[in-house]
Amino acid sequence: MTKITTVLFDFDGVIANTEPQYDIYIDALGEKYNLGIENFALKVKGTTSPDILKKYFSHLPKEEVKTVERELGEFELQMDFPLVDGVMEFIEYLKNNNYKIGLVTSSQDFKMKRALDILNLSKTFDTEVTAARITKGKPNPACYLLAAEDLNVSPSECVVFEDSFHGIRAGKDAGMRVVGVSTTISENELQGKADFIISDFSDLKQVIEYIN
């Protein structure tokens, strides 16, 4: 098996445990606009905001779509970014041991700039693939392939850490190994989809052994 040289992180639910905030907001948004979709937040996890607006809100008048977009942006500008247990220690280990690391997220640039500044991660990643660079969102593998291209590595050298079904599928379809982080979807539901499953990064030895 090819040696892992590169670790690619999703952000929400992997680095920051933001998904509970999104679940409340997105489900309420679905109810407000009478979308009639059960577990709406779960359905759109890992999807870019433009894709969500296009797929689920395009039936609304244009001005109303703009209102939804603005309100979502305002929500993301005031949200908190509690860290997933052990993730900073894992990132420190990777940096100290010369792994390449990348951030691959469906989030918008304005949110990520604020989040990385708050978490003191602004100059940490060797590449950042955010919504502005994603032409086809997860589960399409393009975002992960773009990160590998940025870092001049083959997909087989990469391991992806993801918490959503869309993200896991994107990583697998990119030809990468995928670790499922069960912060938002249960371990049982992730079985058979990810190559390896962790609840968080608190058992650092276990995570390090997997990538080595």
For residue 204, the domain's CATH number is 3.40.50.1000
Same domain, 45 and 131: no
Same domain, 202 and 143: yes
Q: Is residue 158 part of a domain?
A: yes
Report the pLDDT value the prediction gives residue 45, as an integer from 0 to 100. Answer: 80
Domain that holds residue 195: 6-17+82-211
Same domain, 155 and 181: yes
Mean pLDDT of the chain: 94
Per-residue pLDDT for 49 more than 90?
no
Quote the number of domains for the chain.
2
Same domain, 106 and 58: no
What residue type is 44 in one-letter code? V
Report the pLDDT value the prediction gives residue 85, as an integer from 0 to 100. Answer: 98
Q: Is residue 23 part of a domain?
A: yes
Report the pLDDT value the prediction gives residue 42, as an integer from 0 to 100. Answer: 84
pLDDT tens-digit map of 18-41: 988 988 999 999 999 888 898 898
Q: Give the mean pLDDT of 95-106.
A: 98
Name the pLDDT band for 88 (thresholds 50, 70, 90): very high
Same domain, 135 and 175: yes
pLDDT tens-digit map of 108-162: 899 999 999 999 999 999 999 999 999 888 999 999 999 999 999 999 999 999 9
Report the pLDDT value the prediction gives residue 70, as an integer from 0 to 100. Answer: 92
Q: With pLDDT > 70 as the criterion, what percentage of the chain qualifies?
A: 100
Q: What is the DSSP string of the chain?
A: -PPP-EEEE-SBTTTB--HHHHHHHHHHHHHHTT---TTHHHHHTT--HHHHHHHHSTTS-HHHHHHHHHHHHHHHTT---PBPTTHHHHHHHHHHTT-EEEEE-SS-HHHHHHHHHHTT-TTT-SEEE-GGG-SS-TTSTHHHHHHHHHHT--GGGEEEEE-SHHHHHHHHHTT-EEEEETTSS-HHHHTTTSSEEES-SSSHHHHHHHH-
Q: Is residue 1 part of a domain?
A: no
Per-residue pLDDT for 17 more than 90?
yes
Q: Is residue 110 part of a domain?
A: yes
pLDDT tens-digit map of 154-208: 999 999 999 999 999 999 999 999 999 999 899 999 999 999 999 999 999 999 9
Same domain, 64 and 163: no
Same domain, 95 and 184: yes
Report the pLDDT value the prediction gives residue 48, as an integer from 0 to 100. Answer: 79
Same domain, 12 and 23: no
Per-residue pLDDT for 107 more than 80?
yes
Same domain, 104 and 191: yes
Per-residue pLDDT for 8 more than 90?
yes
Per-residue pLDDT for 46 more than 80?
no
Same domain, 29 and 58: yes
Same domain, 104 and 173: yes
Q: Is residue 144 part of a domain?
A: yes
Same domain, 110 and 196: yes
Q: Is residue 30 part of a domain?
A: yes
Report the pLDDT value the prediction gives residue 51, as an integer from 0 to 100. Answer: 86
